[in-house]
Amino acid sequence: MAKEIEVTLNDNKVTGAEGMTILDLARAKGIDIPTLCYVEDLLPTGACRLCVVEVEGSRTLVASCHTPIAPGMVIQTHSPRVIEARRQIVELMLASHPDTCLVCDKANICELRKIAADLDIGLPRFRTRKHYFAIEDVSPYLVRDMSKCVLCRRCIRGCNEIAKKNVLGMAYRGFDSKVVVDCDEAINTEACRDCDVCVSLCPVGALSKPRKVEEKRRGKVQVIKG
Amino acid sequence: MPEKRIVLRNCGVIDPRDMSSYLAHDGFKGLEKALSLTPEQVIEEVKTSGLRGRGGAGFPAGMKWELTRKSPGDEKYLICNADEGEVGTFKDRYILQNDPFSLVEAIAIAGYAIGAKKGFIYLRAEYHYLRPMLANAIDQARAKGFLSHMDIEIRMGAGAYVCGEESALMESIEGKRGEVRYRPPFPPTKGLFGKPTVINNVETLMNIPAIMLNGARWFNQIGTERSKGTKVFSVAGDVPRPGVYEMVLGSKLRELVQDLAGATDIKAIQIGGATGRLIPESMLDTPLAFENLLGAGAITVFNSHRDIIDIVYRTMEFLAEESCGKCVPCRQGTEVMVETLERFMHGEGEERDVKVLQELSSTMMLTSLCGLGQAAPNPVIDSLQYFKDAYESRIKARGEVKV
Ligand SMILES: Cc1cc2nc3c(=O)[nH]c(=O)nc-3n(C[C@H](O)[C@H](O)[C@H](O)COP(=O)(O)O)c2cc1C
Ligand code: SF4
Ligand code: FES
């Protein structure tokens, strides 16, 4: 059996097994820390920084999804400093995200929107250009709209770790970073046939299935007279 | 007086191509001494010397070595960080050009101490012309039998600033995209190829042969309470005598930029490169030490004709370009800062922009994945503190300067 470690979590003394991350422990104790890039079945990557918490003695905030608990840690998961940092991180993502929620497939199940709502975020305070990439809809298996991508890398990790197909990779740097296929070509590989791993992992509307012909609206468009 | 040569002791003295001239100047005597001790004793010596990392962060070298030595496993690595990507630094280049043998000797000592059978020198891509000379130094040392306990391989850098950051550097050596890893685990437990690894800057290692030869006690007496030894500075910008200077730690900034480099007209000084501090002339009497101001030793002087917003804007442009793009605060934050500063450049900055810059600075510092994003707001924070009028005058002039 793993060694038990005692830590202070939001002013309560609790114990967790050695090797657990702060996030594991918090969730086990019923504390909700928002996450975006972290998914239970994938290796952590530490990209979004949404899961940050305060650990006494640390110069910076600490990402809970990949930081193991250590004896005597004093952790605050919802201090004002933490909440403010999380808000800004979401605002930073929203600032360059297209405002197309109205027509987005993910509209009401979008994780980004849900997190923004939970943190009570309205219009982002930051002004920046939007990400813009052309929609990739040549593949019969999936459609990619990378303008909506928040670079959580769940699709890449899913493709590598679960589907084991290694179709996706990262390219470019900084603000121009992008999840790409080969030398940044529109996705259209046979490997994607009968595989929904990335589509099901994407938290936003960047990845979706192409609309099937049968699903297209049948009959005349209704015109409502006003 | 405050100039002292420990790291640069052989520069200009020996022939960097010829091992015999190095041997005539106590070459490989430090290694000889180290090999007569146990690895633990060597580490103890480095710990007692108080040597701290010269690559920017100032982590105690001996402690790093000890952690790595004590990590379980037979396979360990030593990496010499010669990526020298920090804006305005050229001291590592000067060292490599003039005294490659000392570096090889230092790596041999470090490898022995931590138990690494393989060492890498990660050489900045733009320094490719130094590679033959460095390889020559390694070959000569090998031929003389100084490298019987380990091998040294030169790896070329990937041409990215962030590849100087230790975890991105290791990814790069592993053949992957130069992107930062989250920590813990730290390199001494899980570094290159997942094995315990020591990664040290060129200048840090250059101190090792002298420490072995003269003893930790000798080294420990130089410098200040918490900063031992000397530091090599690269001075550039608006000075008549730019160049590489080695000074005892704790020396005043004034002695370096005015007395040695000869600066007369100073508006601002950037210390530690793009992610370093930006300070006004009034702080010239600050001692150069880890406890005050240091960084990797880049000193750039700006005279009264320079525009602060321009300096900060260009610095931020660089950082945004060089961000690896992995974490949100750095990738998105540097972009917001560039665009905000650009508005100030065009006379469109507003009071609220200043507030946003301050709030964003704190979040980037607190949440970024690596030192780049954590230190990227430094020029903004400092310029807002020491050169607030540069922002205010532009806000006031809003509407008058329309481009
Ligand atoms: C963005 C970034 C760039 C860096 N570039 C360099 C570099 O070019 N050379 C270097 O020695 N250290 C660089 N560092 C510091 C390294 O991560 C690391 O701390 C250092 O190599 C450790 O060696 P030391 O303990 O001897 O200083 C950089 C750090 C960051 C965050
Ligand atoms: S496409 Fe979706 S899953 Fe992939 S990195 Fe972007 S947001 Fe994450
Ligand atoms: S959820 Fe922890 S960094 Fe993204």
Superfamily of the domain at B19-220? NADH-ubiquinone oxidoreductase 51kDa subunit (3.40.50.11540)
Does B167 sit in the ligand 1 pocket, CB within 6 Å? no
Claim to verify: residue A1 and residue A85 sit in the same structural domain:
yes
Query: What is the structure's pLDDT at B400?
Result: 65
Query: What is the structure's pLDDT at B254?
Result: 95
Per-residue model confidence as pLDDT tens digits over A113-153: 999 999 999 999 999 999 999 999 999 999 999 999 999 99
Q: Which among A52, A128, A175 has CB closest to B367?
A: A52
Claim to verify: residue A87 and residue A179 sit in the same structural domain:
no
DSSP symbols for A90-138: HHHHHHTS-S-GGG-TTGGG-HHHHHHHHTT--S-S---PPP----B--
Claim to verify: residue A190 and residue A92 sit in the same structural domain:
no
| Domain final residue pick, A125, A146, A165 | A125
Cβ of B328 within 8 Å of Cβ of A66? The answer is: no
> Which of residues A1 and B190 earns the better pLDDT score?
B190
Query: What is the structure's pLDDT at B293?
Result: 86
Q: Which atom belonging to ligand 3 lies closest to the Cα atom of A64?
A: 2
Cβ of B335 within 8 Å of Cβ of A96? The answer is: yes
- The CA–CA distances, whole Å, from A205 to A100, A136, A147 equal 10, 13, 9
Average pLDDT over residues A182-202: 95
Cβ of A176 within 8 Å of Cβ of B325? The answer is: yes
Does A95 sit in the ligand 3 pocket, CB within 6 Å? no
- Alpha-carbon distance B177 to B187, whole Å? 18
Which CATH number does the domain housing residue A43 bear? 3.10.20.740
Please list every residue in chain A whose beta carbon sits closer than 8 Å to the beta carbon of residue B274.
none
| Domain final residue pick, A88, A109, A125 | A125
Q: Which of B183, B326, B352 to mutate to test the interface with A (most CBs of A within 10 A)?
A: B326
What is the B257 CA–ligand 3 centroid distance (Å)? Answer: 44
Q: Which CATH class is domain B230-302?
A: alpha beta
Claim to verify: residue A164 and residue A116 sit in the same structural domain:
no
Mean pLDDT by 10 residues, chain B (403 residues): 86 95 96 97 97 94 97 96 95 97 98 97 97 97 96 95 97 96 96 98 97 96 95 97 96 95 96 95 95 90 96 97 97 98 93 96 98 97 96 84 52
Alpha carbon of A13: minimum distance to chain B alpha carbons (Å): 23
Claim to verify: residue A120 and residue A157 sit in the same structural domain:
no
Query: What is the structure's pLDDT at B1?
Result: 46
Name the β-bridge partners of B231: B247
Claim to verify: residue A110 and residue A145 sit in the same structural domain:
no
What is the B168 CA–ligand 3 centroid distance (Å)? Answer: 19
Residue with the smallest CA separation from ligand 2 atom 6 is A149
* ipTM of the complex as predicted: 0.92
Cβ of B322 within 8 Å of Cβ of A174? The answer is: yes
Query: What is the structure's pLDDT at B397?
Result: 83
Claim to verify: residue A1 and residue A79 sit in the same structural domain:
yes
DSSP reduced 3-state for B312 = helix
Claim to verify: residue A92 and residue A146 sit in the same structural domain:
no
Q: What residue numbers bound the domain in which A59 lies?
A: 1-125
| Residue whose token pair is 């508006």 | B267
DSSP reduced 3-state for B29 = helix
Which CATH number does the domain housing residue A161 bear? 3.30.70.20
- Alpha-carbon distance B68 to B48, whole Å? 17
- Residue B281 CA to its chain's centroid (Å): 23
Name the β-bridge partners of B384: none
Listed range (A94-98, A101-105, B9-13, B365-369) with the worst mean pLDDT: A101-105
- In the chain, the amino acid numbered A37 is C
Alpha carbon of B6: minimum distance to chain A alpha carbons (Å): 33
Claim to verify: residue A174 and residue A80 sit in the same structural domain:
no
Please list every residue in chain A whose beta carbon sits closer than 8 Å to the beta carbon of residue B337.
none
| Residue whose token pair is 């813009």 | A132
Claim to verify: residue A110 and residue A209 sit in the same structural domain:
no
Nearest partner of A91 among A61, A58, A68, A115, judged by Cα: A115
Claim to verify: residue A139 and residue A200 sit in the same structural domain:
yes
Residue A107 has pLDDT above 60, yes or no: yes
Does A93 sit in the ligand 2 pocket, CB within 6 Å? no
- Cβ under 8 Å to A: B residues 343-402: 356, 359-360, 363, 365-369, 374
Cβ of A47 within 8 Å of Cβ of B327? The answer is: yes
Residue A66 has pLDDT above 60, yes or no: yes
Cβ of B328 within 8 Å of Cβ of A46? The answer is: no
Does B55 sit in the ligand 1 pocket, CB within 6 Å? yes
Alpha carbon of B182: minimum distance to chain A alpha carbons (Å): 6
Does A48 sit in the ligand 3 pocket, CB within 6 Å? yes
Exposure class string for B249-266: b at 16+ Cβ within 10 A, else e: bbbbbbbbbbebbebeeb
Claim to verify: residue A116 and residue A164 sit in the same structural domain:
no
Pick the CATH number of B308-402 from 3.40.50.2020, 1.20.1440.230, 3.40.50.970, 3.40.1080.10: 1.20.1440.230
Q: Which among A60, A173, A177 has CB closest to B367?
A: A60
Peptide bond into B184 cis (omega under 30): yes
Contact B117, B1 (CB under 8 A): no
Query: Candidates B81, B331, B374: which one to mutate for ligand 1, based on the most atoms within 8 Å of Cβ?
Result: B81
Does A93 sit in the ligand 3 pocket, CB within 6 Å? no
Cβ of B325 within 8 Å of Cβ of A177? The answer is: yes
Quote the number of domains for chain A.
2
Query: What is the structure's pLDDT at A219?
Result: 65
Domain boundaries, chain B: 19-220, 230-302, 308-402
Per-residue model confidence as pLDDT tens digits over A30-48: 999 999 999 999 999 999 9
Cβ of A174 within 8 Å of Cβ of B333? The answer is: no
Mean of per-residue pLDDT scores for chain A: 93
- Alpha-carbon distance B55 to B204, whole Å? 7
Query: What is the structure's pLDDT at B295?
Result: 86
- The CA–CA distances, whole Å, from A53 to A64, A110, A174, B364 equal 6, 24, 25, 14
